[in-house]
Amino acid sequence: MANLNQLNEALNRYVRPQTSPVAVRMVTSQEELPERVRFPKRDMGLLMPLCQGMSLARRYGFTVAMGVEDMNCGICPLVLGFLPLKKRFLDGDFFVPPLPSQENRARFVRSLKPLEYGKYRYVVMAPIHRAPFEPHFVAIYASPAQIARLAEGAAFMTGKSPQASAGLALSCASIFAQTILEDNYQAVVSGSGERLVALVQDCEMVFTVPASKIDELIQGLAESEKTGIFRYPFPAWLRFQVQMPEDHQKIIEYSSQEDE
pLDDT tens column, 145-166: 999 999 999 999 888 888 888 7
pLDDT of res. 26? 97
Q: What is the pLDDT of residues 172-228, one digit of tens each?
A: 888 999 999 999 999 999 887 888 888 888 899 999 999 999 999 999 999 999 888
Burial class of 128 by CB neighbour count within 10 A (0 to 12, 13 to 18, 19+): buried
65: closest CA among 73, 57, 77?
Answer: 57
pLDDT of res. 241? 92
Which of 69-83, 122-136, 168-182 comes out lowest in average pLDDT? 168-182
pLDDT of res. 191? 82
> Does the pLDDT at position 28 exceed 90?
yes
pLDDT of res. 187? 93
Percent of the chain at pLDDT exceeding 90? 72
Quote the CA–CA distance of 184 and 142 in Å, as a whole number.
18
207: closest CA among 157, 144, 134, 156?
Answer: 144
94: closest CA among 70, 69, 74, 117?
Answer: 74
Work out whether strand 122-127 and strand 22-27 pair parallel, antiparallel, or are unpaired: antiparallel
pLDDT of res. 2? 62
Q: Cα torsion at 54, 124, 109, 179 (round to 10°)?
A: 90
Quote the CA–CA distance of 112 and 197 in Å, as a whole number.
21
pLDDT of res. 116? 95
> Does the pLDDT at position 88 exceed 80?
yes
Q: What is the pLDDT of residues 229-249, one digit of tens each?
A: 888 888 788 889 999 999 999
> Does the pLDDT at position 36 exceed 80?
yes
The mean pLDDT of the chain is 91
pLDDT of res. 197? 87
Quote the CA–CA distance of 223 and 217 in Å, as a whole number.
10
| HEC assignment per residue over the chain | CCCHHHHHHHHHHHCCCCCCCEEEEEECCHHHCCCCCECHHHHHCCCCCHHHHHHHHHHHCCCEEECHHHCCCCCHHHHCCCCCCCHHHHCCCCCCCCCCCHHHHHHHHHCCCCCCCCCCCEEEEEECCCCCCCCCEEEEEECHHHHHHHHHHHHHHHCCCCEEEECCCCHHHHHHHHHHHHCCCEEEECCHHHHHHCCCCCCCEEEEEEHHHHHHHHHHHHHHHCCCCCCCCCCCCCCCCCCCCHHHHHHHHHHHCCCC
Q: What φ, ψ does residue 113 adopt, rounded to 5°? A: -120, 90
> Does the pLDDT at position 169 exceed 70?
no
